[in-house]
Structure 1
Amino acid sequence: MELRPGYKRTEVGVIPEGWAVTTLGKVAQFRTGPFGSALHKSDYTADGIPVINPMHIIDGDLSPSAEMSVTEEAARKLTDFRLKAGEVVLGRRGDMGRCALVQRKHEGWLCGTGSMIVRPGSAIEPGFLSRILSSPSVVASIEQTSVGSTMINLNQGTLRSLLVQLPPVSEQRAIATALSDVDALLTQLDRLIAKKRDIKQAAMQQLLTGKTRLPGFGGEWQGVGLREIATFRTGPFGSALHKSDYTFDGVPVINPMHIIDGKLVPTAAMSVTESAAQGLSEFRLRENDLVIGRRGEMGRCAVVKRESDGWLCGTGSMIVRTIGSVDPSYLQRVLASPSVVSAIEESSVGSTMINLNQEVLGSLTVQLPAFEEQTAIATLLSDLDAELSALKARRAKTRTLKQGMMQALLTGRTRLP
């Protein structure tokens, strides 16, 4: 392939002519975290000086845990391992690529046994260094050369010999700033998502209990037993389906794992032939049915939409079919609410895995407003769900954009003004 003007071929690929290639050992120093024997049981305390191991390096930031911290006295004995602003802390065990720039707020924290401190020299910008060390190409290179049969273990020798591309420092700084701006946007979206989720939870708590009424609605709510307003059908025994009945991309079988955030999310591998599904017609889902997970984590519940009509209720699920003036979408919200989930968990059977049966479900009492109010509540909560989904989609798109930016900027394929 012909080179673009202003680019050259190197050991790390095609990069701009003004960039250099060097080993990391020439532009940075390293210090592996202390041996485990350097810290004793008596050194640990709650909410002390955080100890940073790979598990605490998340999405380019340091997230300490209160129980993994030591006394100030213990930390003073390990001065060489205390973090300073502008350093990079890197996980050296397990998943490679866990890497974070040490900020001023992290100063004095302790590098753990499973981590390593990378101290950049004047030729490499700290923010750029952290991006390079977490980039897919560098992670792949580390994984190929690191030791460990069951768990990758990164050592200083591997890092010293690592080849990296090096733009001028001013360009390194610009690249790091551009990527940090995207990180800031992701953080802002995370806060918006958390806030919207809290609003939704509060709305559910208020609206589903009648503590808050929507404008235009009044009148008393009725407490009714669930068996008075719905019928139940437990999914077929596992023996009803044979190995030969399964096929790829056939009629979906819905087990609890396929009920996610109030929606049915089938997998192509968990499906059966049409003839097998016809033989189990009483377990086929109908539009506006509810399907609820009856094993494991309670609260998994979804309304069957038109596109899911005819799918098959799996062994681990149960069909709830409403009777009379009950809005299925409202009932789904009730069955997934914390208070009902708690009641189910207290009443269900199973020593290691909760198992919901028809008797437990039918004995539940739910609060039921008039049908019109049920629909209004369900609609408002669905609108909140849509807003939350839009924020999550925006975050996912921004994260994908960031990955593309990293690849383009760190290789010089895209240059900043």
Structure 2
Amino acid sequence: MARIQRLGELSEVTPSPSSDQFEGLGEGLGGTPVIAPGDIADGKIAEQPLLRSLEKVPDSLERFQVAPGDLVMVRQGAVGRIALVEERSRGWLYHFACMRVRPHRALVDPGYLIAYLSHPKVLDQLLTRANVGTVTTVTTRMVEELPVAVPPIAEQRLLTGALAEVNAQIENHRRSLARLEALRPALITHVLGGEVPGERLPVPAAAPEPVRRAARGPRPRRLS
């Protein structure tokens, strides 16, 4: 039977770094990636976040690096977005609009925890606790106080495995759908011989000066 515990008892919730610690943050290929809210979708982190920090992570930001099994949660704006950190994101930083949830593995499985926190009814609870103003915000304390139903760890891991199979099937269907959507216009183009009528309209050449003058009509005569 599942027991109920606070999220703060099951994990270490680390608040976001302050915005002034990201001086020099910009877009590019160099530096350590920074996980921003826009990089989080469908429980995953984008492979190539746009924002990157300085070439070397300063000492003041080292405690905000992530490791596999961590959860990164949006705390400001798109509250409720959450992603599980994979090996490829080891050592990345998280944005000041996010927070990190590091599960205590002996108590809760990371895969189970992200599935639970992503449940629509749990998200509703989180949003109910949020500060709603110009920008919706949740605090570390609000997240720590969130109740979590915790089955025995063996059951959590079984559920995590089952959910991984479901997610794999969903991803396969998405890829199939994307291929079919791309195939539909391609079939029409193929039947028409590779070109749609009017696709390449000739650019009209400029008319000679006498023709342009005739189109404008005669010039008005000056009165002497």
> In which range does the TM-score fall when normalised by the shorter chain?
0.7 to 0.9
Query: Aligned with 2:156: secondary structure?
Result: helix
Alignment partner of 1:29 is 2:12: yes
Question: Hey, what does 1:359 align to over in structure 2?
Answer: none
Secondary structure of the 1:172 match is: helix
Deviations 1:330-381 (A, max 9, x none): xxxx58xxx74x86xx99xxxxxxxxxxxxxxxxxxxxxxxxxxxxxxxxxx
Deviation at 1:50, TM superposition (A): 2.2
Distance in 2 separating the partners of 1:140 and 1:179:
21
Match of 2:33, SS state, is strand
Equivalent pairs, count? 201
Aligned twin of 1:44: 26
Residue 95 (structure 1) aligns with: 78
Distance 1:56 1:169, change over 3 A: same
Distance (whole Å) between structure 2 residues aligned to residue 201 and residue 74 of structure 1: 47
Aligned residue in 2 for 1:152: 136
Q: Is 1:60–2:74 an aligned residue pair?
A: no
Letter of the 1:155 counterpart: T
The 5 Å alignment of 1:178-257 reads 178-208=162-192, 210-211=193-194
Classify 1:203/1:72 alpha carbon distance in 2 versus 1 (closer, same or farther; 3 Å). Answer: farther
SS at match of 1:190: helix
> Aligned partners of 1:71 and 1:117: how far apart in 2?
21
Paired residue secondary structure (1:164): strand
Structure 1 unaligned spans of 5+ = 1-17, 213-333, 348-417
1:152 Cα offset (Å): 1.6
Deviation at 1:64, TM superposition (A): 5.2
| Pair 1:128-2:117 in alignment | no
1:51-87 Cα shifts (integer Å, max 9, x gaps) = 1122211011112555322243146652111110011
Change (3 A) 1:146 1:66: closer
**What is the deviation of 1:45?**
4.1
Partner Cα distance (2:58, 2:179) in 1: 37
Which amino acid counterpart does residue 116 of structure 2 have in structure 1? I
Instruction: Give the 5 Å matches for 1:374-385.
Output: none
Q: TM-score when scaled to structure 1?
A: 0.44
Query: Is the contact between residue 39 and residue 49 of structure 2 (CA under 8 Å) also seen in structure 1?
Result: no
> Are the counterparts in 2 of residues 75 and 82 from structure 1 also a CA contact under 8 Å?
no
1:296-339 Cα distance to aligned partner (Å, 9 max, x none): xxxxxxxxxxxxxxxxxxxxxxxxxxxxxxxxxxxxxx58xxx7
Aligned residue type for 1:72: E
SS at match of 1:78: helix
The one-letter code matched in structure 1 to 2:103 is P
Structure 1 segment 9-408 matched on structure 2, within 5 A: 18-41=1-24, 43-48=25-30, 49-63=32-46, 66-74=49-57, 78-121=61-104, 122-208=106-192, 210-211=193-194, 334=196, 340=199
> How much has 1:159 moved relative to structure 2?
1.1
Partners of 1:182 and 1:76 in 2: CA distance: 40
Residue identity matched to 2:175: R
Amino acid at match of 1:51: V
Report the Cα offset of residue 202 of structure 1: 3.7
- Which structure would you say has the larger RCO, counting Cα contacts within 8 Å and 6 or more residues apart? 2
Aligned counterparts of 1:131 and 1:19: Cα–Cα separation in 2: 15
Q: CA separation of 1:34/1:205 partners in 2, compared to 1, >3 Å: closer, same or farther? A: farther
* Percent of residue pairs bearing the same amino acid type: 27
Equivalents in 2 of 1:95, 1:50: separation in Å? Answer: 20
Q: TM-score, normalization: structure 2? A: 0.79
Counterpart for residue 248 of structure 1: none
More strand by share: 1
> Residue 29 of structure 1: SS of its match in structure 2?
strand
Compute the displacement of 1:164 (Å): 1.2
